[in-house]
Amino acid sequence: MQSHQDLLFKFTGMKKACLFLFFPAMLFAQKKQWFDFTKIQSGPYIGVQQGRNLVFELGYERRSKEIKLKNASSHAFNIGANYDYRAGILGADAGFWFRPNRFGLTFGAQVAARSNFDQGMLGFTPTVGYKIWFIHANAGYYIYPKPLSGVKTNNLFVQVRWVFSKNSRTVNNGKRKGSFFGS
């Protein structure tokens, strides 16, 4: 017959083994996640747009990206100016894009104002693209309800933007005090 201390030692050892085996599962089963931060980046961008004509862009973008283990999304607002040399049109764009998961496509829209220094036009474009690191490539189609007569500018286009994130900060989403790596 085993003594009371031997049984207690075996039971304590079994508790430690169970804790060691099931602790990772308990950690990720919590409703509050350890990695739940938002990274906010902003900075200038330069871009090239190719359609009927070659258009050069300069602008500023502010992106908000979730840092999570699952279902991380990001979105951004941008504003910029562009110039179509061949058509002689100066333009301004303001837009928004959204990426629903970490490696997916970006979906967005832009509002565009164009002028040939005598007349102006307003337009709208839906976009779809892909962003990796600091490069964002997308395609879209400008819809101008009242286009300028005699001016041939881009309607269907592909564009590439290089975003230089100067300012970056991380915000805790307030779901857990402290962080995984310490207070």
Give the residue extent of every domain in the chain. Answer: 36-172
3-state secondary structure the chain: CCCHHHHHHHHHHHHHHHHHHHHHHHHHHCCCCCCEEEEEEEEEEEEEEECCCEEEEEEEEEEEEEEECCCCCEEEEEEEEEEECCCCEEEEEEEEEEECCCCCCEEEEEEEEEECCCCEEEEEEEEEEEEECCEEEEEEECECCCCCCCCCCCCEEEEEEEECCCEEEEEECCCCCCECCEC
Tens of pLDDT along 9-23? 555 655 666 556 655
**May I ask the CATH architecture of the domain 36-172?**
Beta Barrel (2.40)
Tens of pLDDT along 27-83? 555 555 566 788 899 999 999 999 999 999 999 999 998 887 778 889 999 999 999
